[in-house]
Amino acid sequence: MPFDPALAPDAAVAFIGRIRSPWRTRDDCPKNLRQARERGGHAVIELDPRFWQGLEGLASGSPVIVLYWMDGSRRDLLVQSPQHREGSAGTFSLRSPARPNPVAIAVVTLLAIDPEACALTIDAIDCCDGTPLLDIKPWLPSVDIPPGYRDADP
| β partners of residue 122 | 43, 110
φ, ψ for residue 10, nearest 5 deg:
-90, -5
Q: Has residue 53 been placed in a domain?
A: yes
CATH number for the domain spanning 53: value is 2.40.30.70
pLDDT tens for 28-60 read: 999 899 999 999 989 999 999 999 999 999 999
| Selection from 135, 113, 111, 133 nearest residue 18 by Cα | 133
> Is the pLDDT confidence value at 154 over 60?
no
| Selection from 41, 52, 47 nearest residue 18 by Cα | 47
3 state DSSP class of 64:
strand
Looking at residues 8-13, what average pLDDT do you find?
A: 78
Q: Has residue 5 been placed in a domain?
A: no
- Helix or strand run (H / E) with residue 133: strand 131-138
Q: Has residue 3 been placed in a domain?
A: no
Q: Has residue 82 been placed in a domain?
A: no
* Residue 113 structural domain: 13-65+102-141
Give the confidence band of 13 by pLDDT, cuts at 50, 70, 90.
confident
3 state DSSP class of 92:
helix
Q: Has residue 51 been placed in a domain?
A: yes
